Amino acid sequence: MTADSLELGPIRPPSEANSLLIRVTRNCPWNRCKFCHIYKGQKFELRTVEEIKQDILTAKAIQDKIKEIALKSGYGNRVETVAAAILSSPLNEAYFNVALWLYHGGTSAFLQDANSLIMKTSDLVEVLKFLKQTLPAITRVTSYGRSKTAAKKTLEELIQLREAGLSRLHIGLESGYDPVLKYMDKGVTAAEHIAGGKKIVASGISLSEYVLLGPGGKGMWREHATETARVLGEIDPDFIRVRTLTIKPGMPLYDEVKNGNFIRATDEEIIEEERVFIENLNCHANLVSDHITNLLQEIEGKLPGDKENMLAVIARFQSLSPEERQNFKVGRRLGVYERLDDLASAPKHDMVEQAIKRFSQDGREVDEDIIYSLMERFI
Protein backbone atom coordinates (compact mmCIF):
# COMPACT_ATOMS: atom_id res chain seq x y z
CA MET A 1 0.00 0.00 0.00
CA THR A 2 1.43 3.42 -0.92
CA ALA A 3 1.46 6.28 1.57
CA ASP A 4 -1.53 7.90 -0.11
CA SER A 5 -4.03 5.08 -0.22
CA LEU A 6 -6.85 4.33 2.21
CA GLU A 7 -8.75 1.11 2.70
CA LEU A 8 -12.42 1.79 1.96
CA GLY A 9 -15.49 -0.36 2.50
CA PRO A 10 -18.28 -0.74 -0.05
CA ILE A 11 -21.09 1.39 1.41
CA ARG A 12 -22.20 4.26 3.62
CA PRO A 13 -25.71 5.61 4.25
CA PRO A 14 -26.95 8.19 1.69
CA SER A 15 -26.94 10.81 4.45
CA GLU A 16 -23.18 10.25 4.85
CA ALA A 17 -22.34 10.79 1.17
CA ASN A 18 -20.12 13.76 2.03
CA SER A 19 -18.46 12.32 5.12
CA LEU A 20 -14.84 11.24 5.35
CA LEU A 21 -14.95 7.42 5.19
CA ILE A 22 -12.74 5.55 7.64
CA ARG A 23 -12.97 1.77 7.59
CA VAL A 24 -12.77 0.35 11.11
CA THR A 25 -13.89 -3.24 10.40
CA ARG A 26 -14.17 -5.31 7.25
CA ASN A 27 -17.58 -6.62 6.12
CA CYS A 28 -20.40 -7.88 8.37
CA PRO A 29 -19.98 -10.10 11.44
CA TRP A 30 -23.53 -11.46 11.00
CA ASN A 31 -23.87 -11.57 7.21
CA ARG A 32 -26.97 -13.78 7.14
CA CYS A 33 -29.88 -11.42 6.41
CA LYS A 34 -31.79 -12.82 3.45
CA PHE A 35 -32.45 -9.43 1.85
CA CYS A 36 -28.80 -8.26 1.90
CA HIS A 37 -26.07 -9.12 -0.59
CA ILE A 38 -23.47 -6.47 0.23
CA TYR A 39 -20.96 -8.58 2.12
CA LYS A 40 -22.01 -12.09 1.09
CA GLY A 41 -18.93 -14.28 0.50
CA GLN A 42 -16.71 -11.80 2.37
CA LYS A 43 -15.12 -12.72 5.69
CA PHE A 44 -15.61 -10.38 8.65
CA GLU A 45 -12.42 -8.98 10.16
CA LEU A 46 -11.57 -6.45 12.81
CA ARG A 47 -8.92 -3.99 11.70
CA THR A 48 -6.25 -3.22 14.26
CA VAL A 49 -6.27 0.17 15.94
CA GLU A 50 -2.84 0.81 14.40
CA GLU A 51 -4.10 0.12 10.86
CA ILE A 52 -7.06 2.47 11.38
CA LYS A 53 -4.81 5.18 12.82
CA GLN A 54 -2.55 4.87 9.80
CA ASP A 55 -5.54 5.52 7.51
CA ILE A 56 -6.52 8.57 9.58
CA LEU A 57 -2.96 9.88 9.21
CA THR A 58 -3.12 9.25 5.46
CA ALA A 59 -6.40 11.19 5.24
CA LYS A 60 -4.72 14.03 7.12
CA ALA A 61 -1.69 13.92 4.79
CA ILE A 62 -3.98 14.21 1.74
CA GLN A 63 -5.94 16.99 3.43
CA ASP A 64 -2.69 18.87 4.14
CA LYS A 65 -1.56 18.49 0.52
CA ILE A 66 -4.87 19.90 -0.74
CA LYS A 67 -4.59 22.82 1.71
CA GLU A 68 -1.02 23.48 0.60
CA ILE A 69 -2.03 23.52 -3.07
CA ALA A 70 -4.83 25.96 -2.22
CA LEU A 71 -2.37 28.27 -0.46
CA LYS A 72 0.26 28.08 -3.21
CA SER A 73 -2.36 28.70 -5.89
CA GLY A 74 -3.58 31.84 -4.17
CA TYR A 75 -6.88 30.40 -2.99
CA GLY A 76 -5.94 30.85 0.68
CA ASN A 77 -8.41 28.99 2.87
CA ARG A 78 -10.74 28.26 -0.03
CA VAL A 79 -9.82 24.56 -0.18
CA GLU A 80 -13.16 23.75 -1.89
CA THR A 81 -11.83 25.13 -5.17
CA VAL A 82 -8.84 22.78 -5.16
CA ALA A 83 -11.01 19.92 -3.82
CA ALA A 84 -13.42 20.42 -6.76
CA ALA A 85 -10.53 20.23 -9.24
CA ILE A 86 -9.28 17.01 -7.61
CA LEU A 87 -12.78 15.53 -7.73
CA SER A 88 -12.85 15.91 -11.50
CA SER A 89 -9.77 13.67 -11.88
CA PRO A 90 -8.74 12.14 -8.54
CA LEU A 91 -5.45 10.23 -8.28
CA ASN A 92 -7.22 7.37 -6.55
CA GLU A 93 -10.18 6.55 -4.26
CA ALA A 94 -8.40 8.02 -1.25
CA TYR A 95 -8.03 11.43 -2.89
CA PHE A 96 -11.65 11.27 -4.04
CA ASN A 97 -12.81 10.49 -0.49
CA VAL A 98 -10.80 13.29 1.12
CA ALA A 99 -11.54 15.86 -1.63
CA LEU A 100 -15.30 15.17 -1.49
CA TRP A 101 -15.24 15.53 2.28
CA LEU A 102 -13.29 18.82 2.12
CA TYR A 103 -15.48 20.13 -0.69
CA HIS A 104 -18.48 19.72 1.61
CA GLY A 105 -16.90 21.47 4.56
CA GLY A 106 -14.79 18.67 6.08
CA THR A 107 -16.73 18.38 9.33
CA SER A 108 -18.15 14.83 9.39
CA ALA A 109 -16.78 11.29 9.27
CA PHE A 110 -18.40 7.88 8.84
CA LEU A 111 -16.84 4.73 10.29
CA GLN A 112 -17.30 1.74 7.95
CA ASP A 113 -18.35 -1.29 7.75
CA ALA A 114 -21.52 -3.04 9.02
CA ASN A 115 -21.17 -3.06 12.81
CA SER A 116 -18.46 -0.90 14.36
CA LEU A 117 -19.92 -1.51 17.82
CA ILE A 118 -18.47 -5.02 17.69
CA MET A 119 -15.03 -3.51 18.33
CA LYS A 120 -13.81 -3.56 21.91
CA THR A 121 -15.19 -0.35 23.41
CA SER A 122 -11.70 0.76 24.50
CA ASP A 123 -10.38 0.30 20.93
CA LEU A 124 -13.27 2.23 19.39
CA VAL A 125 -12.82 4.99 21.97
CA GLU A 126 -9.13 5.17 21.05
CA VAL A 127 -9.96 5.41 17.33
CA LEU A 128 -12.57 8.13 17.92
CA LYS A 129 -10.22 10.19 20.07
CA PHE A 130 -7.39 9.85 17.57
CA LEU A 131 -9.67 10.84 14.70
CA LYS A 132 -10.83 13.98 16.49
CA GLN A 133 -7.32 14.91 17.62
CA THR A 134 -5.84 14.38 14.14
CA LEU A 135 -8.65 16.07 12.21
CA PRO A 136 -10.10 18.56 14.72
CA ALA A 137 -12.46 20.12 12.17
CA ILE A 138 -14.56 16.94 12.42
CA THR A 139 -17.50 17.65 14.71
CA ARG A 140 -19.73 14.74 13.77
CA VAL A 141 -18.82 11.02 13.62
CA THR A 142 -21.37 8.36 12.71
CA SER A 143 -21.34 4.63 12.06
CA TYR A 144 -23.42 1.51 11.43
CA GLY A 145 -24.20 -0.78 14.35
CA ARG A 146 -26.47 -3.72 15.21
CA SER A 147 -29.15 -3.52 17.91
CA LYS A 148 -28.04 -6.81 19.40
CA THR A 149 -24.47 -5.58 19.83
CA ALA A 150 -25.69 -2.29 21.31
CA ALA A 151 -27.88 -4.26 23.74
CA LYS A 152 -24.78 -6.19 24.92
CA LYS A 153 -22.79 -3.02 25.65
CA THR A 154 -23.33 -1.37 29.03
CA LEU A 155 -24.88 2.09 29.08
CA GLU A 156 -21.55 3.35 30.47
CA GLU A 157 -19.71 1.98 27.42
CA LEU A 158 -22.08 3.75 25.03
CA ILE A 159 -21.67 6.97 27.02
CA GLN A 160 -17.87 6.58 26.74
CA LEU A 161 -18.28 6.28 22.96
CA ARG A 162 -20.41 9.41 22.83
CA GLU A 163 -17.91 11.31 24.97
CA ALA A 164 -15.10 10.16 22.67
CA GLY A 165 -16.98 11.65 19.72
CA LEU A 166 -19.50 9.13 18.36
CA SER A 167 -22.43 11.33 17.37
CA ARG A 168 -24.85 8.97 15.65
CA LEU A 169 -25.50 5.27 15.04
CA HIS A 170 -27.34 3.99 11.98
CA ILE A 171 -29.12 0.74 12.88
CA GLY A 172 -30.91 -1.62 10.50
CA LEU A 173 -34.13 -2.31 12.40
CA GLU A 174 -35.86 -3.53 9.21
CA SER A 175 -38.87 -4.90 11.13
CA GLY A 176 -40.28 -5.01 14.64
CA TYR A 177 -42.25 -8.21 13.97
CA ASP A 178 -40.48 -11.34 15.21
CA PRO A 179 -41.75 -13.76 12.51
CA VAL A 180 -40.44 -11.38 9.80
CA LEU A 181 -37.11 -10.93 11.63
CA LYS A 182 -36.82 -14.70 11.97
CA TYR A 183 -37.78 -15.43 8.37
CA MET A 184 -35.27 -12.85 7.11
CA ASP A 185 -32.60 -14.29 9.44
CA LYS A 186 -31.93 -10.83 10.85
CA GLY A 187 -30.41 -12.40 13.97
CA VAL A 188 -32.22 -10.11 16.36
CA THR A 189 -35.61 -10.07 18.07
CA ALA A 190 -37.98 -7.16 18.51
CA ALA A 191 -37.14 -7.17 22.24
CA GLU A 192 -33.40 -6.92 21.42
CA HIS A 193 -34.10 -4.08 18.98
CA ILE A 194 -35.89 -2.24 21.77
CA ALA A 195 -33.17 -2.95 24.36
CA GLY A 196 -30.34 -1.87 22.02
CA GLY A 197 -32.21 1.14 20.67
CA LYS A 198 -33.27 2.43 24.08
CA LYS A 199 -29.75 2.10 25.39
CA ILE A 200 -28.37 4.14 22.49
CA VAL A 201 -31.01 6.83 23.06
CA ALA A 202 -30.22 6.87 26.80
CA SER A 203 -26.50 7.29 26.07
CA GLY A 204 -27.16 10.51 24.16
CA ILE A 205 -25.88 9.09 20.84
CA SER A 206 -28.27 10.12 18.08
CA LEU A 207 -30.11 7.10 16.68
CA SER A 208 -31.20 6.53 13.09
CA GLU A 209 -33.31 3.38 12.57
CA TYR A 210 -33.76 1.92 9.07
CA VAL A 211 -37.10 0.34 8.28
CA LEU A 212 -37.85 -1.93 5.33
CA LEU A 213 -41.14 -1.73 3.48
CA GLY A 214 -42.16 -5.07 2.04
CA PRO A 215 -40.26 -7.71 4.09
CA GLY A 216 -43.52 -9.32 5.23
CA GLY A 217 -44.40 -10.02 1.60
CA LYS A 218 -48.08 -10.59 0.97
CA GLY A 219 -48.55 -12.72 4.09
CA MET A 220 -47.24 -10.70 7.04
CA TRP A 221 -47.35 -7.08 5.84
CA ARG A 222 -49.96 -5.82 8.31
CA GLU A 223 -48.28 -7.30 11.39
CA HIS A 224 -44.93 -6.03 10.11
CA ALA A 225 -46.37 -2.51 9.80
CA THR A 226 -48.05 -2.38 13.20
CA GLU A 227 -45.31 -4.15 15.17
CA THR A 228 -42.55 -2.08 13.58
CA ALA A 229 -44.46 1.05 14.56
CA ARG A 230 -44.88 -0.28 18.10
CA VAL A 231 -41.17 -1.09 18.49
CA LEU A 232 -40.17 2.34 17.17
CA GLY A 233 -42.63 3.95 19.57
CA GLU A 234 -40.80 2.25 22.45
CA ILE A 235 -37.36 3.24 21.20
CA ASP A 236 -38.28 6.79 20.11
CA PRO A 237 -35.22 7.28 17.86
CA ASP A 238 -34.15 10.58 16.32
CA PHE A 239 -34.61 9.35 12.74
CA ILE A 240 -36.64 6.67 11.00
CA ARG A 241 -35.32 6.03 7.49
CA VAL A 242 -37.56 4.09 5.15
CA ARG A 243 -36.37 1.83 2.32
CA THR A 244 -38.36 -0.44 0.04
CA LEU A 245 -37.34 -4.09 -0.22
CA THR A 246 -35.29 -4.84 -3.33
CA ILE A 247 -34.38 -8.35 -4.36
CA LYS A 248 -31.25 -9.02 -6.40
CA PRO A 249 -29.27 -12.13 -7.40
CA GLY A 250 -26.83 -12.96 -4.62
CA MET A 251 -29.42 -12.42 -1.91
CA PRO A 252 -30.82 -15.58 -0.30
CA LEU A 253 -34.26 -13.97 -0.72
CA TYR A 254 -33.83 -14.06 -4.49
CA ASP A 255 -33.93 -17.87 -4.38
CA GLU A 256 -36.88 -17.78 -1.97
CA VAL A 257 -38.85 -15.78 -4.54
CA LYS A 258 -37.82 -18.14 -7.35
CA ASN A 259 -38.94 -21.22 -5.42
CA GLY A 260 -42.21 -19.58 -4.36
CA ASN A 261 -41.45 -19.37 -0.61
CA PHE A 262 -41.68 -15.57 -0.57
CA ILE A 263 -44.50 -13.77 -2.36
CA ARG A 264 -43.60 -10.13 -2.94
CA ALA A 265 -46.01 -7.34 -2.16
CA THR A 266 -46.73 -5.03 -5.08
CA ASP A 267 -45.89 -1.33 -5.06
CA GLU A 268 -49.50 -0.46 -4.21
CA GLU A 269 -49.66 -3.03 -1.41
CA ILE A 270 -46.44 -1.57 -0.02
CA ILE A 271 -47.97 1.90 -0.03
CA GLU A 272 -50.91 0.55 1.99
CA GLU A 273 -48.36 -1.05 4.35
CA GLU A 274 -46.62 2.32 4.69
CA ARG A 275 -49.97 3.94 5.46
CA VAL A 276 -50.69 1.47 8.28
CA PHE A 277 -47.11 1.89 9.54
CA ILE A 278 -47.26 5.69 9.71
CA GLU A 279 -50.78 5.68 11.14
CA ASN A 280 -49.53 3.52 14.03
CA LEU A 281 -46.32 5.47 14.70
CA ASN A 282 -46.32 7.27 18.02
CA CYS A 283 -42.91 8.83 18.52
CA HIS A 284 -40.95 12.03 17.98
CA ALA A 285 -38.65 10.94 15.15
CA ASN A 286 -37.91 12.63 11.85
CA LEU A 287 -39.21 10.26 9.21
CA VAL A 288 -36.99 10.35 6.14
CA SER A 289 -37.52 8.64 2.77
CA ASP A 290 -34.03 9.31 1.43
CA HIS A 291 -33.90 6.37 -0.93
CA ILE A 292 -34.63 6.02 -4.62
CA THR A 293 -36.46 2.71 -3.99
CA ASN A 294 -39.35 4.44 -2.22
CA LEU A 295 -42.32 5.02 -4.49
CA LEU A 296 -43.42 8.12 -2.58
CA GLN A 297 -40.13 9.73 -1.65
CA GLU A 298 -41.93 12.89 -0.63
CA ILE A 299 -43.26 11.21 2.52
CA GLU A 300 -41.09 13.00 5.07
CA GLY A 301 -41.67 14.93 8.24
CA LYS A 302 -41.27 15.29 11.97
CA LEU A 303 -43.54 13.17 14.12
CA PRO A 304 -46.06 13.54 15.54
CA GLY A 305 -46.90 16.95 14.00
CA ASP A 306 -46.39 16.01 10.34
CA LYS A 307 -48.16 12.64 10.51
CA GLU A 308 -51.34 13.90 8.84
CA ASN A 309 -49.37 15.55 6.01
CA MET A 310 -47.50 12.31 5.37
CA LEU A 311 -50.73 10.31 5.35
CA ALA A 312 -52.23 12.90 2.99
CA VAL A 313 -49.51 12.11 0.42
CA ILE A 314 -50.52 8.45 0.56
CA ALA A 315 -54.23 9.31 0.35
CA ARG A 316 -53.52 11.44 -2.71
CA PHE A 317 -51.76 8.55 -4.44
CA GLN A 318 -54.44 6.05 -3.44
CA SER A 319 -57.23 8.29 -4.74
CA LEU A 320 -55.75 8.47 -8.26
CA SER A 321 -57.44 6.42 -10.99
CA PRO A 322 -55.82 2.99 -11.65
CA GLU A 323 -54.40 4.38 -14.93
CA GLU A 324 -52.81 7.37 -13.19
CA ARG A 325 -51.41 5.18 -10.40
CA GLN A 326 -49.82 2.97 -13.02
CA ASN A 327 -48.48 6.01 -14.87
CA PHE A 328 -46.93 7.27 -11.64
CA LYS A 329 -45.45 3.87 -10.66
CA VAL A 330 -43.84 3.36 -14.06
CA GLY A 331 -42.67 6.99 -14.26
CA ARG A 332 -41.19 6.83 -10.81
CA ARG A 333 -39.44 3.52 -11.47
CA LEU A 334 -38.06 4.90 -14.73
CA GLY A 335 -36.67 7.90 -12.87
CA VAL A 336 -38.95 10.33 -14.76
CA TYR A 337 -40.95 11.40 -11.71
CA GLU A 338 -39.73 12.42 -8.28
CA ARG A 339 -43.05 13.35 -6.69
CA LEU A 340 -46.77 13.20 -7.34
CA ASP A 341 -46.87 16.80 -8.62
CA ASP A 342 -44.76 15.61 -11.57
CA LEU A 343 -47.86 13.89 -12.96
CA ALA A 344 -49.00 17.35 -14.05
CA SER A 345 -46.09 17.65 -16.50
CA ALA A 346 -47.59 16.76 -19.90
CA PRO A 347 -44.22 15.91 -21.57
CA LYS A 348 -43.25 13.60 -18.71
CA HIS A 349 -46.71 12.04 -18.59
CA ASP A 350 -46.63 11.35 -22.34
CA MET A 351 -43.13 9.91 -22.14
CA VAL A 352 -44.33 7.47 -19.46
CA GLU A 353 -47.44 6.54 -21.50
CA GLN A 354 -45.14 5.64 -24.42
CA ALA A 355 -43.08 3.46 -22.09
CA ILE A 356 -46.23 1.76 -20.77
CA LYS A 357 -47.19 0.86 -24.36
CA ARG A 358 -43.78 -0.73 -24.86
CA PHE A 359 -43.80 -2.62 -21.55
CA SER A 360 -47.37 -3.98 -21.62
CA GLN A 361 -48.86 -6.77 -23.69
CA ASP A 362 -52.22 -5.09 -24.18
CA GLY A 363 -51.05 -1.47 -24.01
CA ARG A 364 -52.58 -1.06 -20.56
CA GLU A 365 -51.38 -3.28 -17.72
CA VAL A 366 -47.64 -3.40 -16.92
CA ASP A 367 -46.56 -6.60 -15.20
CA GLU A 368 -45.35 -6.13 -11.59
CA ASP A 369 -42.13 -8.00 -12.41
CA ILE A 370 -41.26 -5.26 -14.91
CA ILE A 371 -41.92 -2.60 -12.28
CA TYR A 372 -39.71 -4.46 -9.75
CA SER A 373 -36.90 -4.78 -12.26
CA LEU A 374 -37.09 -1.09 -13.17
CA MET A 375 -36.77 -0.21 -9.46
CA GLU A 376 -33.92 -2.63 -8.92
CA ARG A 377 -31.85 -1.11 -11.74
CA PHE A 378 -31.08 1.72 -9.30
CA ILE A 379 -29.50 -0.55 -6.70
Segment lying near ligand SF4 (by CB under 6 A), choices 31-39, 191-199, 214-222, 321-329: 31-39
Task: Please report whether residue 33 would count as binding ligand SF4 according to CB under 6 A.
Answer: yes
**Least Å distance between CB 268 and ligand SF4?**
26
Cis peptide, bond prior to residue 304, ω within 30 of zero? yes
Q: Give the CA angle between residues 15, 83, 71 to the nearest 5°.
A: 140
Task: Please report whether residue 30 would count as binding ligand SF4 according to CB under 6 A.
Answer: yes
Segment lying near ligand SF4 (by CB under 6 A), choices 28-36, 58-66, 175-183, 231-239: 28-36
CA distance 183 to 161: 33
- The residue from 13, 106, 145, 172 that contacts ligand SF4 (CB under 6 A) is 172
Task: Please report whether residue 28 would count as binding ligand SF4 according to CB under 6 A.
Answer: yes
**Least Å distance between CB 112 and ligand SF4?**
11
Residue 130, Cβ density class (10 Å: 0-12 exposed, 13-18 middle, ≥19 buried): middle
Task: Please report whether residue 114 would count as binding ligand SF4 according to CB under 6 A.
Answer: yes
Is the Cβ of residue 168 or residue 275 nearer to ligand SF4 in the bound state?
A: 168
Task: Please report whether residue 21 would count as binding ligand SF4 according to CB under 6 A.
Answer: no
- The residue from 5, 15, 18, 31 that contacts ligand SF4 (CB under 6 A) is 31
Task: Please report whether residue 36 would count as binding ligand SF4 according to CB under 6 A.
Answer: yes
Query: Which of 137, 273, 128 shows the shortest CA–CA distance to 205?
Result: 128
Q: How many other CB atoms are there within 10 angstroms of residue 137's CB atom? A: 13
Rg (CA), the chain: 22
Q: How many residues bind ligand SF4 (CB under 6 A)?
A: 11
Which residues make Cβ contacts (< 8 Å) with residue 131, sequence separation at least 6? 22, 56, 109, 138, 141, 165
**Least Å distance between CB 320 and ligand SF4?**
33
Crossing angle between the packed helical segments 322-334 and 368-376, to the nearest 10 degrees: 30
C-beta of residue 64 within 8 angstroms of C-beta of residue 83 = no
Query: Which of 214, 235, 251 shows the shortest CA–CA distance to 285?
Result: 235
Q: State which of positions 71-110 bind ligand SF4 (CB under 6 A).
A: none
Task: Please report whether residue 320 would count as binding ligand SF4 according to CB under 6 A.
Answer: no
Task: Please report whether residue 229 would count as binding ligand SF4 according to CB under 6 A.
Answer: no
**Least Å distance between CB 124 and ligand SF4?**
18
CA distance 196 to 191: 9
Is the Cβ of residue 248 or residue 357 nearer to ligand SF4 in the bound state?
A: 248
- The residue from 38, 85, 87, 191 that contacts ligand SF4 (CB under 6 A) is 38
- Concatenated DSSP letters for 7-33? ---S---GGGTTSEEEE-EES-SS---
**Least Å distance between CB 217 and ligand SF4?**
17
Instruction: Using CB under 6 A, list all residues that contact ligand SF4.
Output: 28, 30-33, 36, 38-39, 114, 146, 172
